[in-house]
Structure 1
């Protein structure tokens, strides 16, 4: 009887943890909503106090411009163009980062190559490569993909390699003793153990890619017909449509919030938080 009494709490304890975690996530979500509403009210109040829509439109005017832009289809098309280019450059950067990191993890020569390339190219701003991209690829999507790939490659490779190097030696020896091949050793041993650092690198690479794309579009875009959000902001700034400029900026923010909430936080909850690698 005593054994059954003692066993009951142990059986119910694991079920309580997910409920507590879900409740905490819901609480944090509402808290962020309140903070966002507070920021919107501050924006609205200061813009009304300033009384100059050319310098700072009100939040309500920006939201109207945002809704009208999506309703007309223009802002939706610009956003789709930017996201398409972003995904191409981000994917190319991830593939190259994976190859360099795998090579650095399996070979000392590869490690030296990664360290040398990152020391030379990581400090180089992606936007500074725009003249080179224009010479090599001309004005168009390939130039944008090139600079995005550069922006993604180095932070992802550095974070992943740092995560691989932090894997305990005993775990590495276990993989070697099991006779795993090089690809299986990376996929089954190194990647799960280094997943927190890998996700951090993916987040950082996404942020760098998004900022680089908008900056590149602001400089030369793709064309007046097929340019992305950066080109939308540039053309509306030239026409003194400040509400549309802020609508474009708000779109950039919203895309970032959606990607962070749905992609990165979802991946973290499903992996490193579930496995106890992150609190």
Structure 2
């Protein structure tokens, strides 16, 4: 009878470890490298470079009527803000912009919700965007003045047109890119219609939606300024666009550039504070974008 052979037992032993030595601490990055990693500083340097180039070109040309310097433009901007005139123009422009932008956002989400719910909605969205998206919003201003008169309704109408189509296209593209597993999960929970869109599609498509919101904002802002140039000339009042138009007629070129500088500044603030904060609090925190 075969006896079971036990495996050999390895004897135990202690291994003496070398005394612990603290790991060497990496040297801190140079101050210049740490500063260059700050995005706000890099963008600030770009803006400062553009301002210096502007001032140098203006002094080289030496004609304030054609190109006032950056410092002269800042002086005119300060005077306009101190007098309250520019603040009132900004208030008028932003008030109209808010109405048109919000109306465009609501219509865009309604149209895309219909598109992801029914085949007829998809056909409607495809047809309308193919028809109206290539049409410049400012081209509709003469019709808007006929239909809505000289009130703010004309401006709101062209703003809705400028926001609606790019936002609807981006939102629908984002909905189409939602993974099928998320769609199936929503259906398994019994979600249909609006609850399905709000709880499944919108969170998953948020990067595309935010991109559409930024594009819609940019289109609306530039359309408003361009429309106010015409609308202000027709009604004798308006926002920043009318301020620019009026001072151009009176040959106050420094005020014209001050108005343009304020338009750019508002765009930078909205882009780098409002939308950047919204992205940081949502899609970046959720790991949906790098």
Q: Same fold (TM over 0.5)?
A: yes
Query: Counterparts of 1:155 and 1:53 in 2: how far apart (Å)?
Result: 39
Conserved? CA contact 2:178–2:205, under 8 Å? yes
What displacement does 1:70 show?
0.6
What displacement does 1:262 show?
1.5
Q: Does 1:177 align with 2:175?
A: no
1:100 to 83, 96, 111: 111
Map 1:5-84; keep pairs closer than 5 Å: 27-84=38-95
What displacement does 1:26 show?
7.0
1:267 to 271, 275, 278: 278
Corresponding residue for residue 24 of structure 2: none
2:235 to 223, 237, 244: 223
Sort the Cα spacing of 1:25 and 1:154 in 2 relative to 1 into closer, same or farther, 3 A.
Answer: farther
Give the 3-state SS of the residue equivalent to 1:220 in structure 2: helix
Q: Does 1:111 align with 2:115?
A: no
Query: Counterparts of 2:188 and 2:159 in 1: how far apart (Å)?
Result: 40
Sort the Cα spacing of 1:46 and 1:209 in 2 relative to 1 into closer, same or farther, 3 A.
Answer: same
Query: Counterparts of 1:95 and 1:182 in 2: how far apart (Å)?
Result: 16
Deviations 1:177-211 (A, max 9, x none): 11013211111110011000000000000000001
TM-score under structure 1 length normalisation: 0.89
Sort the Cα spacing of 1:223 and 1:24 in 2 relative to 1 into closer, same or farther, 3 A.
Answer: farther
Corresponding residue for residue 136 of structure 1: 147
Q: Write 1 or 2 for the structure with the bigger share of helix.
A: 1
What displacement does 1:131 show?
1.2
Sort the Cα spacing of 1:41 and 1:24 in 2 relative to 1 into closer, same or farther, 3 A.
Answer: closer
TM-score under structure 2 length normalisation: 0.86
Give the 3-state SS of the residue equivalent to 2:63 in structure 1: coil
Sort the Cα spacing of 1:25 and 1:146 in 2 relative to 1 into closer, same or farther, 3 A.
Answer: farther
Sort the Cα spacing of 1:149 and 1:24 in 2 relative to 1 into closer, same or farther, 3 A.
Answer: farther
Q: Does 1:186 align with 2:197?
A: yes
RMSD: 1.4
1:124 to 107, 122, 135: 135
Conserved? CA contact 2:36–2:42, under 8 Å? no
Query: Counterparts of 1:174 and 1:156 in 2: how far apart (Å)?
Result: 26
Structure 1, unmatched stretches of 5+, are 1-22
1:242 to 253, 271, 278: 253
Q: Does 1:232 align with 2:243?
A: yes
Deviates most, 173-182 or 201-210: 173-182
Sort the Cα spacing of 1:190 and 1:253 in 2 relative to 1 into closer, same or farther, 3 A.
Answer: same
Corresponding residue for residue 264 of structure 2: 253
Query: Counterparts of 2:74 and 2:235 in 1: how far apart (Å)?
Result: 26
Of structures 1 and 2, the larger Rg is shown by: 2
Sort the Cα spacing of 1:24 and 1:86 in 2 relative to 1 into closer, same or farther, 3 A.
Answer: farther
Query: Counterparts of 2:35 and 2:45 in 1: how far apart (Å)?
Result: 15
Sort the Cα spacing of 1:273 and 1:172 in 2 relative to 1 into closer, same or farther, 3 A.
Answer: same
Moved runs in structure 1, 4+ residues, more than 6 A?
Answer: 23-26
